[in-house]
Structure 1
């Protein structure tokens, strides 16, 4: 009969130590796992989780199937066909004139420019009217909305009456939010405000134009067009600075929306000449000027990357 040997005291102590160490290891691992879980819940588990979120990917469809336009007299084609009258058929955005070849014409073709466009712009409109125009545009459910507004906010009887930059921002943000809340996938193309000082310098060489300006067109910039005294120069510079500030608002607000594209200041920087100005008021775009605006917008809308 085989006698079973009892472990000695030293062996028992060794086994107990191993068991204790193993149990401690499991407790430690469990604690670490618990910490990892808590870190994951807090968003701080790993270095990758602590890295800044990447910038949002901008989404832009270069071939929208329907277009609505909002804005002021430029988008209505004012004074481009007849004196002191709208001419929406030559609008840079939604017009049907074959010589202008509007954005709608270029994107949708002749039939599309007639049947899948809406022009809600209004001559004389300022930024305060943009939210209401946007509400009407949203009802049409367009895939693209074009905006050109701001000239009338700087063109006032007196520089003290110009729309403040803060109000300009508020109304524009409200309009963008309206579009985004109602039509989250519709796109917004934003044109910069034209260089009003450039228009003054071009139009003031025409005697007829200066007589028409006396009727009340943009007096903050065009009033006393030949005056070059310190007060007149300062007045025009105030208007110029306000237009630059408006364009910065348009750029900043649009830049926060993944489906908004600002023209990068292209319209502001365009060097309008006499050929691009209406020969009735030497201020609004002529048909030739509307064509130039359409070219700028179409180029930016269909570009792979937004303007710098």
Structure 2
């Protein structure tokens, strides 16, 4: 009897030990198989399953584009005097020489063959930043994968320096625009162009007598009025406009940086050295076809880059 009790006790201990081992030891180790995150039974490192690559937040080849902004995006004065010419727009135009951003990114997908629009131009000549939230709302309705923004020149181009849009109001309107977009399209990408260097445009355009006559019609008087006057007051006025443009660009950069799917151009448009060939032959201020082509090149380069501009 005593031997039988010892035998039963031994079997019970053995059974308990098996239970403990089953609880504490990974199933793969008991089976002699490599665990996903641990060493194999023979002591060699286990092969790890390749982790799926995360989907990048920035898509370098969006399938549809909507443009918002002002007269530059409408191709104003690029084809005929004092008229829009959206077919040469840097963003959505169809002109073969310009090769707009839409043409470069979408090609035949841009509605020419499919019968379905892939690009929309919601910009308006004369628009200031206060109109951008409404333009964004219209862009949301078309559900683009990319929205381009070029706005701010008209906020600095006013009748007088005192009428320029304040930096605080500029920020409020741009933040509202982004909020409108995100309210309807949380994953749509945004490409933001910097405001052009208006002082550079004055410097280049004032060499043309006809251009200066057109400027008298009321184009960007805060910068362009009395283009040949170089006294202290005129210099200060132009510098004040220039400083305001720089401040606008900082707002565009800062607000865009808070959105993971927004890419600012790094000041590329502001830094571009427009020459006579890139300016309208009617007002020597707005981009010509050649200028629109340069803007399209800048946008395409920045949008298709793996990393955003510095």
TM-score range, shorter chain: 0.7 to 0.9
In structure 2, the residue matched to 1:102 is 100
Inter-partner Cα distance in structure 2 for 1:122 and 1:80: 15
Q: How does 1:1-308 map to 2 (within 5 A)?
A: 59-112=57-110, 114=112, 115-308=117-310
Inter-partner Cα distance in structure 2 for 1:196 and 1:215: 17
Contact 1:189 1:301 in 2 (8 A): yes
Q: Structure 1 242/295 Cα, relative in aligned 2: closer, same or farther at 3 Å?
A: same
SS in 2 for 1:75: helix
Inter-partner Cα distance in structure 2 for 1:224 and 1:59: 48
Give 5+ residue unaligned stretches, structure 1. Answer: 1-56
Q: CA deviation at 1:205?
A: 0.2
Cα RMSD over matched residues?
1.0
Count residues in correspondence: 252
Q: CA deviation at 1:177?
A: 1.0
List per-residue Cα deviations over 1:224-272 (Å, max 9, x = no partner): 0000000000000000000000000000000010000000000000000
Contact 1:67 1:117 in 2 (8 A): yes
Runs of 4+ in 1 over 6 A off after TM superposition: none
List per-residue Cα deviations over 1:59-93 (Å, max 9, x = no partner): 10000000000000000000000010000000000
Inter-partner Cα distance in structure 1 for 2:285 and 2:108: 29
Give 5+ residue unaligned stretches, structure 2. Answer: 1-54
SS in 1 for 2:93: coil
SS in 2 for 1:124: coil
List per-residue Cα deviations over 1:104-150 (Å, max 9, x = no partner): 00000044165211000000000000000000000000000000000
State the TM-score, normalizing by the size of structure 2: 0.80
Inter-partner Cα distance in structure 2 for 1:102 and 1:257: 25
State the TM-score, normalizing by the size of structure 1: 0.81
List per-residue Cα deviations over 1:46-70 (Å, max 9, x = no partner): xxxxxxxxxxx97100000000000
Inter-partner Cα distance in structure 1 for 2:244 and 2:56: 29
